[in-house]
Structure 1
Amino acid sequence: MLTIIAVLMSINLLTAQNHYTFKLSDKVTRQKITFKNRYGITLSGDLYLPKNRGNEKLSALAVGGPFGAVKQQSSGLYANIMAERGFAVIAFDPSYTGESGGEPRNVASSDINTEDFSAAIDYLGLQTFVDRNKIGIIGICGFGGMALNAAAVDKRVKAIATTSMYDMSRVMSKGYNDSMTLGQRTKMLEQISQQRWEDAEKGAPADGPRNLPEKLQGDEPQFIVDYFNYYRSPRGFHPNSVNSNGAWPVTNPLSFMNMPLLSYIKEISPRPILLIAGANAHSRYFSEDIYKIAAEPKELFIIPNAVHVDLYDKIDVIPFGKLELFFKQNLK
């Protein structure tokens, strides 16, 4: 019986690893890779390369996000298309999620997830087919904030683009549109602090509510409906994705509420920033506010009629031509 269960678990794991929410381009190769970050966590990634790349060293990109997603979803789609356009690209599972290592599972950290980008850059810079002086990063959704944070501290990043960017520390500590009062923040932190006693007693963190419900009740905000229509439908579902199939621990917000991202955003300059957001995205204000405080060179690119989740997978909406031009002009 145990042998049968073990075989079934192996089959399920293999199925998850091989399920992608997009089709691999016939102009691109994809191979599984692993690399370690400086905390010793082994990250799982996919390396996408153009088939007809010749002998010239390639410019390279590391792609991460959205927050709660895995590399078989949006980041892999971006990597696939950017590799079509001539780049060597890694899409990776962040620490503690997907096929990457780290215990306990499904934990996020403003520091460690920033480091994950730098670890991907470590890997890229060691490849003989990559020009290590021509490496950029793309951050989607919550990993847009992590990507900007990584670029501020890691001077090897030569150009940075974000799509549907979230500042996770801002939204967790202040609520959407900064609507959380000091009293609400204090109450939330008191509850999380008390939860730590329970977690310590049990020896494992308790999960919070499921990120997305099994079905909609009909009274959800539109952006929740949009998330549901991506993560909980065949369009974007993946069994390894926290947003598709799981929950964050109750204590997950702690580091984000106390260690703000983007404190040194101006130190990305003189390297260029491209911030892409949908005109109708509930998250648009994050990109607009970062644009206001970042130093030049910078560009804010607003896509008419697009919502937040459109930039996850809608190829006719995501401005891949803009991304290609941005990186080809700036990775040199």
Structure 2
Amino acid sequence: MRKLISIIALSMLIAITNMVNAQSNKKPYESNSYSLVYEGAITKNEKGKVNIHPVNYKLNGIDIAANVYTPADYDGSKKYPTIVVAHPNGGVKEQVAGLYAQRLAEAGYITIAADAAYQGASGGQPRNVDKPQNRVEDIHGMADYISEYKGVDTARLGVFGICGGGGYTLKATQTDKRFKAVATLSMFNSGMVRRNGFENSQLNTIQQRLKQASEARALEVAGGEVKYIGGGPAATDEQIAVMPFEMYREGTIYYERTHAHPNSGAFPNSGGTYTVSSLIDLMGWDATDQIELIDQPLLMMAGNQADSKYMTDDAFKKAVNAKDKELFLIDGATHIETYWKPEYVSQAVNKLGGFFKKHLQ
């Protein structure tokens, strides 16, 4: 048995090395004037090309940092279909959300990607609060802001959520009918996972973790230390290799190494860190509660090799009133590979392009 475990760990270490090497051409954020870390990112605004516009706005008294992307030859006197892009849990706008926002702008859309309140370059204390009601409000807030942006056609407003942002997008669009079409990629149901564990691996500790969350909140209220899940030193190769789920192994590499970004408040890199007290809200929440309220066209995409795919399958089945709903599987892709691997990103972008073109006429 020990020999088998050693073989598995060694194979994981080799896979980690191969993934890092495959992405070794990534530029660090310091080399990009907008601190974008994805492949093919804009380095400067040029006439006749897609441009990026860093903006700030208030949402319930909190400063929100966002990037707006405008299509080539953008003319503010014209009207353009527009897409709101919601980033993953622990992500920032300069990573995968920015990649897809830029690619959709290349297809002719105005897009916006914002850092969630309490996260990234946005305001809010304590840092890295991750309450579902905040993340859903972030999506409403992006719609508020971009609806007033020059050139935006509010009658052709869509939304696209990635990972945790996908789950929050499903919740936001249940009631926000400004969004005429809804799409997700590698959807992650944050409430389900924080409550039950990934693939229901923590069912036996639900009450224990709720007690810890309650104690953490009491400590905060009393002016004591803010307790966090995660946020420690970067994981070693050996620590990554023994993580039980591929999404977490590849996600650690993505957020801590190949696509690391500093805009995460008190923490050195973006990642999955969040306050323990957030579990009070997270564990009682589910992206699929009232999902039958979604009556807009719905596209859900996932890698067919993603160990998180069960969440997309569950939500898709429950979205019984969505119009023209479609499940699109990206052959060969894992969850995190849909964030960066060119052949998988291109498949997703092409599918999004056809979907939004059809439904944002």
TM-score over 0.5 (shorter chain): yes
Distance 1:212 1:326, change over 3 A: farther
Alignment match, 1:125: 147
- Segment drifting more, 47-56 vs 85-94: 47-56
Q: Distance in 2 between matches of 1:232 and 1:240?
A: 12
1:70 and 2:92 are equivalent in the alignment: yes
For each residue in 1:109-155, what CA deviation from the matched residue of structure 2 results, as whole angstroms up to 9, or x when unmatched? 11111011111111111123011110011100001000111111101
Alignment match, 1:24: 42
Alignment match, 1:226: 250
For each residue in 1:3-61, what CA deviation from the matched residue of structure 2 results, as whole angstroms up to 9, or x when unmatched? xxxxxxxxxx9999832112218621101112222x22221100000121355300001
Q: Matched residue pairs, number?
A: 316
Q: How does 1:310-325 map to 2 (within 5 A)?
A: 310-318=337-345, 319-325=348-354
For each residue in 1:277-306, what CA deviation from the matched residue of structure 2 results, as whole angstroms up to 9, or x when unmatched? 001101101111111110232111011110
Alignment match, 1:92: 114
1:276 and 2:297 are equivalent in the alignment: no
Q: How does 1:253-332 map to 2 (within 5 A)?
A: 253-269=279-295, 271-295=296-320, 296-297=322-323, 298-318=325-345, 319-332=348-361
Q: Distance in 2 between matches of 1:245 and 1:115?
A: 21
Tell me if structure 2 keeps the 8 A contact 1:20–1:72: yes
Distance 1:212 1:329, change over 3 A: farther
C-alpha displacement of 1:202: 3.8
Tell me if structure 1 keeps the 8 A contact 2:120–2:270: no
Distance 1:107 1:16, change over 3 A: farther
Q: Distance in 2 between matches of 1:273 and 1:245?
A: 29
AA paired with 1:226? Answer: E
Distance 1:128 1:209, change over 3 A: closer
Q: Distance in 2 between matches of 1:238 and 1:99?
A: 11
Counterpart secondary structure, 1:258? coil
Tell me if structure 2 keeps the 8 A contact 1:16–1:239: no
Alignment match, 1:240: 263
AA paired with 1:199? Answer: E
For each residue in 1:196-225, what CA deviation from the matched residue of structure 2 results, as whole angstroms up to 9, or x when unmatched? 333333444222333773313232233322
For each residue in 1:90-114, what CA deviation from the matched residue of structure 2 results, as whole angstroms up to 9, or x when unmatched? 0110000111111111111111110
AA paired with 2:304? Answer: A
Q: Distance in 2 between matches of 1:45 and 1:61?
A: 13
Tell me if structure 1 keeps the 8 A contact 2:247–2:308: no
Counterpart secondary structure, 2:282? helix
- Segment drifting more, 168-177 vs 206-215: 206-215
Counterpart secondary structure, 1:100? coil
Q: Distance in 2 between matches of 1:197 and 1:90?
A: 37
Q: Distance in 1 between matches of 2:174 and 2:128?
A: 26
1:175 and 2:197 are equivalent in the alignment: yes
Tell me if structure 2 keeps the 8 A contact 1:16–1:238: no
C-alpha displacement of 1:243: 9.0
Distance 1:220 1:260, change over 3 A: closer
C-alpha displacement of 1:314: 2.0
Tell me if structure 1 keeps the 8 A contact 2:72–2:108: no
TM-score (norm 1): 0.89
Counterpart secondary structure, 1:328? helix
- Show structure 2 runs of 5+ residues with no match: 1-28
TM-score (norm 2): 0.82
Distance 1:187 1:17, change over 3 A: farther
Of the three residues 200, 203, 209, the one matched with 2:221 is: 200
Two-structure CA RMSD over aligned residues (Å): 2.2
